[in-house]
Structure 1
Amino acid sequence: MVTAGPSALKAGPPAGVAAEARATGAVCVVLHDVCPSHWAACRRVLAAAEACAIDAGVRLPVTLLVVPHLHGDPALPPDYLQWLRQMAVQGHELVLHGLTHRDDGPPPRRVGAWLLRRHYTAGEGEFAALPPSQALQRMQAARHWARAHRLPMRGFVAPAWLMGPGSLGAACEAGFRHTCTLNRVIALPQGRSLHAPSFVFSTRSVWRRVLSVAWNRLLAWRVGVLPLQRLELHPHDADHPAVRRCWEGLLQQALRHRTPLRLGEAAELARRHGQDVGGFVHQT
């Protein structure tokens, strides 16, 4: 299931892998909200993804988005921590995914912001409305947590991909090498990016699951020719049969033709071949 050791991320994908990815296209598999309370569900998703890779006859590296203290929970079981270290040693990528994954920033003042932050993201867009100084403080705290537990993390992805004004600059100042939004993979600090829309599912209700499956099938038709695809999974995406069948089908199709990359490797391609996004800070 592993393509290379974690040291490969320091210089990006090997030349042969990079050339193949540019020639055939690439796919990133990213698992969000990795934390002790979701550990069992995360392993179910990873097992399903690995089964797809075995069927396709390829090795699949996965990017794990790790939340240090989900909703303020300080629990850190030793077995879970050892599992994270082992995943990194095996060649998977660990990326920081906020600090608490909870939006406790200034309350929204407009209807659109209220719908986005309170309904669409269910109050989990931690960096959606933080001023730059607070965003930097949380990123630094998250990096300190990772270093204290000997977890290699060079990237940062904001919960729900929502970054308020100044958060991108804060990520650069905190020393992160890459990030992403819903539709772009961004190399830091240069800010060069690749357009890469995400397949992502919402499983909180029946109607969300139905719409997610329909939308992702349509998206597959629309973005099939793009150089980079991203399958952005969440812990309970293996627990709902229709959702699981949909993303497994998307992954199986991608693995037949595309080179699997970690998010950091995709960001290195953006660094070399992407567009300059300049002052880009929001989720689109």
Structure 2
Amino acid sequence: MATPRPVTGGKACSTRDLCVVLHDVAPSRWEGCQRVLGHVRRCADAAGIELPLTLLVVPHMHGDTALPARYLRWLHRMAGAGHELCLHGLTHRDEGPPARGLREHLLRRHYTAGEGEFAALTREQALAKLREGRAWAKALGLSMDGFVAPAWLMSPASLKAVGKAGFRHTCTLTEVIALPQRQALKAPSLVFSTRAAWRRQLSRAWNTYLAHQARDTRLLRLELHPGDAEHPDILRCWTGLLTEALRSRMPLRLGEAAMLARRLG
């Protein structure tokens, strides 16, 4: 991806806003990230606007500590161009205790395929991971004021740890949360599941419906993953929804959405 033009969006002054968020930013997923961002950029160019993004960075995806120089330079360019970097777990891998009950088992092992890293951690376990992630970012000169848990799954203890670790905002699947006071702003998410054909078909139908239902919601989020450009049907769906949203919504970064939550809360 070419270095984006400097962005200025995010004054939180429109009546309806949009956050475009890219998950799983890591060296092992970088190629997919760039494909997705290329399509995002084309949608923004067609709309004639600058589109500030939030990139969710995983320091050690599935235990991989590799840090290619080209990837690190790219992160710095993205931040320098005005895009927001947030911490997205440490390893993106659920190594917590065994699931308790059917609902937790389904969430942690099927909904997330074992990637809900903060789903079942104690406060101390979560705080240790968060501090390690912050230290990693600081050592590389990367500013990350926000934290988003993989799959948005956080135990109550983990949520407390996020504020204790000094992060200024986080979110769930349906809300953006300003810290430390935890003012919450309703923000439904359009997110696609691509692991199987039936998931892709259901995702297209559900997100089209949700976008329609949320057309008057103050804040809408498009939550993208590195694999979302690999399937033409999914790609057509989310680029169409993004193009439609850009006609009537002002783009914000998650940090600016949290500022809005503080103001409205």
Query: Quick check: TM above 0.5?
Result: yes
**What is the CA–CA distance in structure 2 between the aligned matches of 1:18 and 1:160, rounded to whole Å?**
26
Code of the residue aligned with 2:93 in structure 1: it is R
How far apart are residue 109 of structure 1 and its match? Answer: 2.2
Deviations 1:83-114 (A, max 9, x none): 00110000000000000000000001211111
Contact 2:12–2:252 (CA<8 Å) still a contact in 1?
no
Alignment of 1:138-177 (within 5 A): 138-177=129-168
Match in the other structure for 2:53? 62
Code of the residue aligned with 1:161 in structure 2: it is W
Secondary structure of 1:172's counterpart equals: helix
**RMSD across aligned positions (CA):** 1.0
Moved over 4 A (4+): none
**What is the CA–CA distance in structure 2 between the aligned matches of 1:2 and 1:248, rounded to whole Å?**
22
Code of the residue aligned with 1:243 in structure 2: it is I
From 56, 62, 65, the equivalent of 1:74 is 65
Alignment of 1:3 with 2:17, yes or no, is no
Match in the other structure for 2:26? 35
TM-score, normalised via structure 2 length = 0.97
Code of the residue aligned with 2:157 in structure 1: it is G
Match in the other structure for 2:237? 246
From 77, 85, 88, the equivalent of 2:76 is 85
Contact 1:31–1:233 (CA<8 Å) still a contact in 2?
yes
How far apart are residue 222 of structure 1 and its match? Answer: 1.0
Match in the other structure for 1:216? 207
Segments of structure 1 that go 5 or more residues without pairing to the other structure are: 275-284
How far apart are residue 166 of structure 1 and its match? Answer: 1.3
How far apart are residue 220 of structure 1 and its match? Answer: 1.1
How far apart are residue 143 of structure 1 and its match? Answer: 0.3
Contact 1:2–1:60 (CA<8 Å) still a contact in 2?
no
**What is the CA–CA distance in structure 2 between the aligned matches of 1:28 and 1:109, rounded to whole Å?**
34
**What is the CA–CA distance in structure 2 between the aligned matches of 1:188 and 1:113, rounded to whole Å?**
26
Segments of structure 2 that go 5 or more residues without pairing to the other structure are: none
Secondary structure of 2:52's counterpart equals: coil
Secondary structure of 1:210's counterpart equals: helix
TM-score, normalised via structure 1 length = 0.90
Alignment of 1:98 with 2:89, yes or no, is yes
Alignment of 1:131 with 2:125, yes or no, is no
Contact 2:191–2:207 (CA<8 Å) still a contact in 1?
yes
**What is the CA–CA distance in structure 2 between the aligned matches of 1:219 and 1:211, rounded to whole Å?**
12
**What is the CA–CA distance in structure 1 between the aligned matches of 2:149 and 2:97, rounded to whole Å?**
17
Deviations 1:3-25 (A, max 9, x none): 23xxx9xxxx4xxx222x2x3x1
Code of the residue aligned with 2:76 in structure 1: it is R
Code of the residue aligned with 2:262 in structure 1: it is R
**What is the CA–CA distance in structure 2 between the aligned matches of 1:2 and 1:43, rounded to whole Å?**
18
**What is the CA–CA distance in structure 2 between the aligned matches of 1:27 and 1:87, rounded to whole Å?**
19
**What is the CA–CA distance in structure 2 between the aligned matches of 1:111 and 1:168, rounded to whole Å?**
22
**What is the CA–CA distance in structure 2 between the aligned matches of 1:147 and 1:18, rounded to whole Å?**
28
Secondary structure of 1:166's counterpart equals: helix
Alignment of 1:108 with 2:99, yes or no, is yes
The alignment-based identity, stated in percent, is: 62
**What is the CA–CA distance in structure 2 between the aligned matches of 1:93 and 1:232, rounded to whole Å?**
14
